[in-house]
């Protein structure tokens, strides 16, 4: 009988010990096992003999770990991003890498808008003031009228588009930058396209990031880019932490060069020190934008379906490294 292994992240396990959702999909067609690992240095011989592997976010599979896989036909990243897996190393060994690109579209878009709203309306400082039994609206200079603001989106894929439609409905003027979209995408959604990232940065009051993490986008937003933003701008990131240089954005917050940041994802997450966590006007939300009862069921069901296809010789969905 073929074997399918789920590798959950030991620091913050997201699945359940019995893998009930996956087991319902896979049934008796394969042996299903679950392990908790911190990195691929923790891979056991039993894991390395698996025919397919489902891996949760933040559990990296590097070239070294992939080289130890003996029978693996597919690695399924339980989520949208696949930067935690060395897809080139997997391709060299003939192992397909798949992801689940559509499971949390609504949740991540909702979360991005929630962060933007919390910043524009300063919900957390006002909540803290009220709970101190005070009534001073000290953050009044940061409170903004949405229809006077420009909402800038980087990356108009599934989630970026869903976010754009939500922001548009709230009255924001919405602009976007995405060099990989064909002409006319802006007309289909009814928003404004700008041709360069610098142009977007100088115009937007809210910057919302929705691009993958790769060699081109790592530190896409760093010191120079943050300097281009308006002093009253807010930054929202529900994409990948490494898209924003952590030291740069924390410095910008401490120095008051931007008005605030809502970061669901952070480079080298989680936050590492009390000093990082104390950055002013920072909202951090534990890489949880994807999370809902419904989205996790959908994600885990899709991953299990792909894993089952891999071990039964069926066509694979969502292959990201060209191995079919």
Please provide the average confidence, as pLDDT, over all residues in the chain: 96
- pLDDT on residue 6: 98
Distance CA 107, CA 118 (A): 16
Determine the average pLDDT of the residues in 202-214: 97
Q: What is the pLDDT of residues 130-156, one digit of tens each?
A: 999 999 999 999 999 999 999 999 999
Domain covering 105-284, topology: Rossmann fold (3.40.50)
Looking at the predicted structure, is the pLDDT value of residue 312 above 90? yes
Q: What is the pLDDT of residues 160-207, one digit of tens each?
A: 999 999 999 999 999 999 999 999 999 999 999 999 999 999 999 999
| CATH number corresponding to 3-103+292-311 | 3.40.50.720
- pLDDT on residue 57: 82
Q: Between vectors from CA 95 to CA 91 and to CA 99, what angle results, nearest 5°?
A: 90
- pLDDT on residue 20: 97
- pLDDT on residue 58: 84
The catalytic residue positions are 240, 269, 287
- pLDDT on residue 102: 87
Q: What is the pLDDT of residues 40-68, one digit of tens each?
A: 999 999 999 999 999 998 899 999 999 99
* Share above pLDDT 70 across residues of the chain, in percent, rounded to a whole number: 100
- pLDDT on residue 113: 98
Domain limits, the chain? 3-103+292-311, 105-284
Say whether 105-284 and 3-103+292-311 share the same fold.
yes
Q: What is the pLDDT of residues 73-110, one digit of tens each?
A: 999 999 988 999 999 999 999 999 999 998 999 999 99
């Amino acid at each position: 009988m073929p074997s399918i292994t789920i590798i959950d992240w030991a620091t913050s396990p997201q699945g359940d010990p019995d893998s009930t959702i996956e087991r319902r999909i896979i049934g008796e067609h394969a042996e299903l096992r679950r392990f908790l690992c911190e990195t691929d240095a923790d891979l056991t011989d039993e894991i390395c003999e698996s025919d397919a592997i489902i891996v949760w976010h933040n559990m990296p599979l590097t070239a070294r770990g992939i080289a130890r896989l003996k029978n693996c036909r597919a690695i399924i990243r339980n989520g949208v991003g696949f930067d935690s897996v060395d897809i080139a190393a997997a391709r060299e060994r003939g192992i397909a890498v798949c992801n689940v690109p559509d499971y949390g579209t609504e949740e991540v878009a909702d979360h991005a808008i929630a962060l933007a709203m919390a910043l524009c309306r300063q919900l957390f400082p006002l909540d803290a003031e009220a709970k101190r039994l005070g009534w001073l609206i000290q953050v009044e200079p940061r409170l903004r009228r949405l229809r006077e603001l420009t909402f800038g989106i980087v990356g108009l894929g599934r989630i970026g588009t869903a976010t754009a439609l939500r922001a548009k409905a709230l009255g924001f003027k919405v602009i976007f930058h995405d060099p990989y979209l064909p002409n006319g995408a802006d007309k289909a959604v009814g928003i404004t396209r700008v041709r360069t990232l610098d142009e977007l940065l100088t115009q937007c009051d809210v910057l919302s990031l929705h691009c993958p993490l790769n060699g081109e986008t790592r530190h896409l937003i760093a010191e120079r880019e943050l300097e281009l933003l308006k002093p009253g701008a807010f930054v929202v990131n529900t994409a990948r932490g490494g898209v924003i240089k952590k030291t740069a954005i924390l410095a910008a917050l401490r120095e008051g060069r931007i008005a605030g940041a809502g970061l669901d994802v952070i480079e080298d997450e989680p936050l590492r020190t009390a000093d990082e966590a104390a950055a002013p006007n920072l909202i951090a939300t534990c890489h949880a934008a994807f999370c809902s009862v419904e989205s996790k069921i959908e994600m885990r069901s899709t991953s299990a379906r792909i894993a089952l296809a891999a071990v039964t010789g069926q066509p694979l969905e969502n292959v990201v490294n060209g191995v079919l």
